[in-house]
Amino acid sequence: MFDEQLLDRLRSEVVRGTVSMRGSYEDYCIFKYSQNCVIDDAWNGTNRQARGIIFYAPTGRIVCRPFDKFFNLDERQETKLESLPDSSFIIWEKLDGSCCSSFNMWGEICISTPGSYESEQAVWATKWLREYLDSINKKKEFFELNTNMTFIFEGIWPEEAGNPASPVLNYGDRQELVLLSIRKHNGLELSPPKVDLYAEEFGFTRPKRYDSSVNPLSREMKDAIPDNEEGYVIQYPGNKHFRVKVKSPTYMLLHRTRDKISYKGLCEIMEGGESRRWIESLPKHMTRRADDILAELNQEYYSIFYAVEDKFKEARVLKKRKEQALYILGSDLPKSYTGLVFAMLDDKFNDRLIWGILKKEKRFQSVEID
């Protein structure tokens, strides 16, 4: 598939700063939308196609065509619940791996991630795919299909096996390429049943597929995402395979707070009871430091709790509410803690009240976990 006009438009986007290019215009080059494009919300029909698309630039031939950029539910007007297509859809499990797209280069089967065909993930996935195809004796058949189509996978491999991305979710020792879809180089995507047939032919795993009658499409569906799952991808095959992501709130919190986090953010994790899952999501070398930090926060929590509890015990022996109030307000407790004593007296106290105070006290403090 040759598309010199698209190549020229992508070059213009590189000049604008909304797309980055790796490789050479004299050879193979790969295009990926830039961070500036994301921050400035500068999306258009061209840079949305720059999610790892690869050209052999001298001829303008497309050799790899992964998914175009697609967005989260409610992230843009087109993905608001009320704007979604009124047609049948498929709900897929969203895997927490690396997007890996196949292509042929210099007579070999290769894999690229969205930004590079030389990244550690791409190197691992290329090695895995070649060895796997050799093991089933289907490298020739795959190479021929790969000439005009891109197999789009999610690469799953653990940190212990060398994955530098350190996935948030724990898939154990699982290592494989899971087939998400297949896209022709002219941009047309194969139907899910056709992709299923190729998956069966080559023995590729497909993502978990949910029954849409069991999981009605609504804003609340994200709250029902099972543990150890990132979320869903909703695909509309009848609307040019339009897609929208629905991510678990817990996953998003864990992903956002893995390496650098404010103390306020840590208090939110503790408040939500997600501290253990957060620590388990961290790369192994960070877990001890994270444990220490959470232990420090717990210590501060109980320091407040016991100080407040002491005043509560002293105040509750007083018979009249006015006497109790005067005693509490005249005590040596910080003003921000007195409300906790009243909450205990009214049987309305809960852990979140203390975490709320700690969030305010520590809102300008940050910590690096490394």
Instruction: Identify which of 213, 201, 197, 184 has the alpha carbon closest to the alpha carbon of residue 138.
Output: 201
The amino acid occupying position 184 is K
Which domains, ranges and CATH numbers included, belong to the chain? 1-64 (no CATH), 65-248 (3.30.470.30), 257-368 (no CATH)
Q: Looking at the predicted structure, is the pLDDT value of residue 260 above 50?
A: no
Alpha helix positions (H), the chain = 4-16, 35-39, 120-135, 139-146, 192-202, 249-256, 263-271, 275-281, 287-315, 321-329, 335-345, 351-361
How far apart CA 242 and CA 71 sit, in angstroms, is 10
pLDDT tens per residue, range 71-128: 988 888 898 888 899 888 999 999 988 999 999 999 999 999 998 999 899 999 999 9
How far apart CA 39 and CA 333 sit, in angstroms, is 44
Q: What is the chain's mean pLDDT, rounded? A: 87
Alpha helix positions (H), 120-258 = 120-135, 139-146, 192-202, 249-256
How far apart CA 170 and CA 151 sit, in angstroms, is 25
How far apart CA 306 and CA 300 sit, in angstroms, is 10
Q: Looking at the predicted structure, is the pLDDT value of residue 339 above 50?
A: yes
Whole-number pLDDT of residue 257 = 55
Which range (162-176, 264-278, 335-349) has the least confidence?
264-278
Angle CA 111–15–57, to nearest 5: 40
Instruction: Put residue 137 in one of left, alpha, beta given phi > 0 → left and psi -120 to 50 → alpha.
Output: left
pTM metric for this prediction: 0.71
Distances (CA, A) of 95 to 98, 189, 290: 9, 20, 25
φ, ψ for residue 40 (rounded to 5)?
-85, 0
The single residue listed with the structure tokens 């890996």 is 100
Q: Which residues contact 274 (CB under 8 A, 6 or more apart)?
A: 250, 253, 254
Beta bridge partners of 20: 32
- Sign of the dihedral defined by the CA atoms of residues 151, 242, 166, 170, in that order: negative
pLDDT tens per residue, range 23-66: 999 999 999 998 888 878 899 999 999 999 999 999 999 999 99
Angle CA 233–236–237, to nearest 5: 120
pLDDT tens per residue, range 279-309: 666 655 556 566 667 777 887 888 899 899 9
Angle CA 67–156–228, to nearest 5: 100
Angle CA 174–175–181, to nearest 5: 110
Q: Looking at the predicted structure, is the pLDDT value of residue 249 above 90?
A: no
pLDDT category at 213 given cuts 50, 70, 90 is low
